[in-house]
Structure 1
Amino acid sequence: MIKKLVVGLAAVAIVVLVAAWAAAPVLSAQALIRAAKAGDADRIEQLVDFPALRQSLKDELNAELAAQMRRDPRMAESGLGGLGLILAPMLLSGAVDAAVTPEVVAQMVTTAEAPDPTVRDQPEPGDAADEGDDIHQAWGYRDLNAFAVTLTDRDHPDQRLALILERRGLFSWKLAAVDIQNDARP
């Protein structure tokens, strides 16, 4: 009888552990969204791996900029287009490093838009919080160590911003990357 009780308790403990492990990214994502809507910069600091996020944004924005330059016939025909492709990543890198702050993360979360590093005005925390009601959220694992919250503004359904949370330990998750998806591109 005691053996069955021990086996039963062990099974319950395993189920609880697996459920907590699977729910951890959802709880972290919800905490990030709440902190963004509240404009809680300190909490956002705890929930974001800023060096990894900045690198991800640089990669995404560089790819988008290069694609735009290749699509522009004037840039493709001009010798300056190649120079622009060489210089753009350096310029964009410094701008992203300076621009990605907890306030900008809050704006990304509440507007479903990647930051524009060329704009220097910092958003007011209360400004973006009112826009969050028009944002559709889709949640799901990308793999065992990556969880995505895909945000879509209902007014622009062809543009999505996926916030990628990565595992940091057994139960801890942090925003570490973004995936900018734009179906409107030709």
Structure 2
Amino acid sequence: MKRNSKIAIAAGVAGALFAAAYFGSPFVALMSLKTAAKTGDRDRLEQVVDFPQVREGMKSQLTAMLTKRMAEDPAMKDNPFAALGLLMAPAIIDRAIETYVTPDSISTMITTARKPSQTLAQDPGAASTSSTGKVRTRYDYVGLDRFRATLTNPDSDDKLSLVLDRKGLFGWRLVRVDLPLDEAGSPV
């Protein structure tokens, strides 16, 4: 009887350790991401960020925002060049995002919680001097294989969300940076 109880206890401990590692792994991945961003470790950022997916996500968000704003702008409805602008906008956004979304810019976004429009004007590798580095983070699971960390800078009320997807049992990669939305549902 003692042998069976020892096996049951060992199985329970192993199950608890597995559950702790499984559900705690995104927190470890996020800490690794933040540490790499703060120290400027480009190699580590390359490992924990899926740059093609992050770029595609930003392109789709910015293209949708621009299309919506142009469609809602009364001045654009009568403008014959508006349609040409809408045709050219995705190509311009694609090129800007391809150039902009780098380890340095991701690092700046993570350490300052600043959205891309604010960091474009800065040197992407330089952290904001106005930020005290007190970026607050709120965590939540979006599903078993998706995790969201919402970063907020209390000094400037800047906010953005990082979305990580599970890769294997315990691995995670940043796959999307969700830009903050205004009341109309557009990125601000």
TM-score, normalization by structure 1? 0.87
Distance in 1, matches of 2:175 and 2:62, equals 15
Matched position secondary structure for 2:152: strand
- Which residue of 2 is the match for residue 135 of structure 1? 135
Matched position secondary structure for 2:137: strand
Distance in 2, matches of 1:17 and 1:175, equals 23
What letter is aligned with 2:131? E
- Which residue of 2 is the match for residue 169 of structure 1? 168
Cα shift readout 1:147-174 (whole Å, capped 9, x = no counterpart): 11111232554x5311101111110000
Residues 5-154 of structure 1 mapped to structure 2, 5 A cutoff: 5-116=6-117, 119=120, 122-125=123-126, 127-128=127-128, 131=131, 133-154=133-154
2:136/2:154 contact within 8 Å kept:
yes
Aligned residues between the structures: 184
2:138/2:151 contact within 8 Å kept:
yes
Q: What stretches of structure 1 of length at least 5 have no aligned partner?
A: none
Greater helix share, 1 or 2?
1
Distance in 2, matches of 1:149 and 1:81, equals 37
What letter is aligned with 1:183? D
TM-score, normalization by structure 2? 0.86
Distance in 2, matches of 1:177 and 1:36, equals 16
Closer, same or farther: CA 41–132 of 1 in aligned 2, 3 Å: farther
Closer, same or farther: CA 140–48 of 1 in aligned 2, 3 Å: same
What letter is aligned with 1:174? R
Matched position secondary structure for 2:180: strand
Distance in 1, matches of 2:82 and 2:118, equals 20
Relative to structure 2, which stretch is displaced further, 2-11 or 81-90? 81-90
Relative to structure 2, which stretch is displaced further, 79-88 or 128-137? 128-137
1:141/1:148 contact within 8 Å kept:
yes
What letter is aligned with 2:164? L
Cα shift readout 1:123-161 (whole Å, capped 9, x = no counterpart): 234x3487263422111111111111111232554x531
Distance in 1, matches of 2:106 and 2:121, equals 14
Distance in 2, matches of 1:76 and 1:155, equals 39
Relative to structure 2, which stretch is displaced further, 1-10 or 148-157? 148-157
Give % identity. Answer: 35
What letter is aligned with 1:81? A
CA deviation after TM superposition for structure 1 residue 122, in Å: 3.8
Relative to structure 2, which stretch is displaced further, 42-51 or 13-22? 42-51
Relative to structure 2, which stretch is displaced further, 37-46 or 166-175? 37-46
2:105/2:125 contact within 8 Å kept:
no
CA deviation after TM superposition for structure 1 residue 81, in Å: 2.0
1:140/1:149 contact within 8 Å kept:
yes
- Which residue of 2 is the match for residue 160 of structure 1? 159
2:166/2:172 contact within 8 Å kept:
yes
Matched position secondary structure for 1:79: coil
2:105/2:119 contact within 8 Å kept:
no
